[in-house]
């Protein structure tokens, strides 16, 4: 009975929080989940730590193709080598970290074309983010994993949790510091090096020991265009890729605004990008965050002008962007 009471109290707290956020101009986040028909997917993610949202609920095939083509163009430019979906690859001159013989990561993809800006306004992805972050999420990194035959994390599958690890080793239970998602730009199968999850490990609220529960890891198989969304505490890694050709994704890693982001956004986002996107885009990139100031101080008076975050950024904030 006490457990049921605690659950009801948490639900009431969330409702109270949502009412407060709506008065601040944020929105009703569970209403967006319902409107998009994502209730089942949100519940599954809550329970097991991850979920596969099918392509028809994510984005049109034409958008996925545009995104994939642009990822391959960026890969070719950064590596100096050519790429084909049905052939293995090479990192060429590109020296990102981490990197191994069968995989590299393309970082900082937001600034590589407008198609990535469009993705950040995707309703399904944002609805799932807000289900966990209640409007307090901020883009931490936008990355593409490029993987081909031989990509392998070894016997441990590279199992880990994405939530930043505190000195205590205990991950937060009552809140969500981060959430993540992989947009499949190719089909995901176990033989093709699919992502691996340990179902329910998000409830352990700690990092795995090396090799722990590897035998419980499941391959998440999904067709191109699917969105694999997961909680920051769930243990995950990847199976080795045993087939020829590429496995591609776009990974959208989101952190609570109280945390540092992995990649530099905030005032590194150009003014023209902010002006051509909706106000929610600016908030998602930290454009309304006064922290991180230099010799002129925090400029609180400028940020106080943005009283309603459903409205465009005021000139006082825009002029701080190059």
Could you report the per-residue pLDDT of 105-116, keeping only the tens digit for each? 999 999 999 999
Q: Residue 6: what pLDDT?
A: 45
Task: Tally Cβ neighbours within 10 Å of residue 275.
Answer: 12
Domain spanning 29-256, CATH class: mainly beta
Record the tokens describing residue 221, joined without a space: 């198989």
Task: Tally Cβ neighbours within 10 Å of residue 204.
Answer: 19
Asked whether 210 and 163 are in contact (CB, 8 A), the reply is no
If 0-12 CB within 10 Å is exposed, 13-18 middle and 19+ buried, where does residue 183 land? Answer: buried
Crossing angle of helices 123-133 and 39-48, rounded to 10°? 50
- All residue ranges of the chain with pLDDT < 70 are 1-27, 174
Angle at 261 between CA 255 and CA 264, to 5 degrees: 140
Residue for token digits 């991180």?
292
Question: If you average pLDDT over every residue of the chain, what do you get?
Answer: 90
User: Range(s) for CATH 2.60.120.620 in the chain?
Assistant: 29-256
């Amino acid at each position: 009975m006490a457990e049921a009471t605690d659950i009801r109290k948490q639900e009431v707290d969330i409702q109270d929080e949502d009412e407060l956020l709506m008065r601040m101009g944020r929105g009703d986040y569970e209403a967006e989940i319902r409107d998009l028909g994502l209730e089942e997917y949100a519940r599954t993610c809550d329970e097991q730590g991850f979920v596969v949202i099918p392509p028809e609920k994510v984005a049109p095939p034409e958008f996925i193709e545009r995104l994939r083509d642009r990822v391959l163009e960026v890969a070719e430019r950064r590596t100096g080598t050519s790429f084909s979906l049905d052939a293995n690859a090479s990192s060429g001159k590109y020296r990102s970290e981490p990197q191994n013989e069968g995989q590299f990561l393309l970082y900082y993809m937001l600034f590589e074309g407008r198609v990535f800006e469009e993705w950040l306004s995707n309703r399904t992805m944002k609805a799932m983010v807000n289900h966990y972050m209640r409007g307090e999420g901020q883009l931490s990194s936008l990355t593409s994993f490029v993987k081909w035959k031989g990509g392998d994390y070894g016997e441990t599958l590279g199992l880990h949790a994405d939530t930043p690890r505190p000195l205590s080793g205990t991950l937060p239970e009552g809140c969500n510091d981060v959430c993540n998602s992989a947009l499949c730009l190719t089909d995901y199968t176990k033989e093709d090096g699919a992502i691996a999850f340990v179902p329910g490990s998000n409830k352990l609220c700690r990092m795995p020991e090396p090799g722990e529960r590897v035998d419980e890891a499941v391959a998440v198989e999904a067709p191109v265009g699917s969105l694999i969304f997961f909680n920051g505490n769930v243990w995950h890694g990847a199976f080795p890729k045993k087939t020829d050709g590429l496995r591609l994704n776009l990974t959208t890693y989101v952190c609570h605004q109280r945390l540092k982001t992995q990649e530099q956004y905030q005032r590194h986002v150009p003014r023209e990008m902010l002006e051509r996107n909706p106000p929610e885009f600016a908030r998602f990139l930290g454009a309304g965050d006064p922290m991180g100031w230099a010799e002129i101080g925090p400029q609180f008076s400028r940020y106080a002008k943005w009283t309603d975050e459903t409205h465009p950024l005021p000139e006082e904030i825009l002029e701080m962007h190059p």
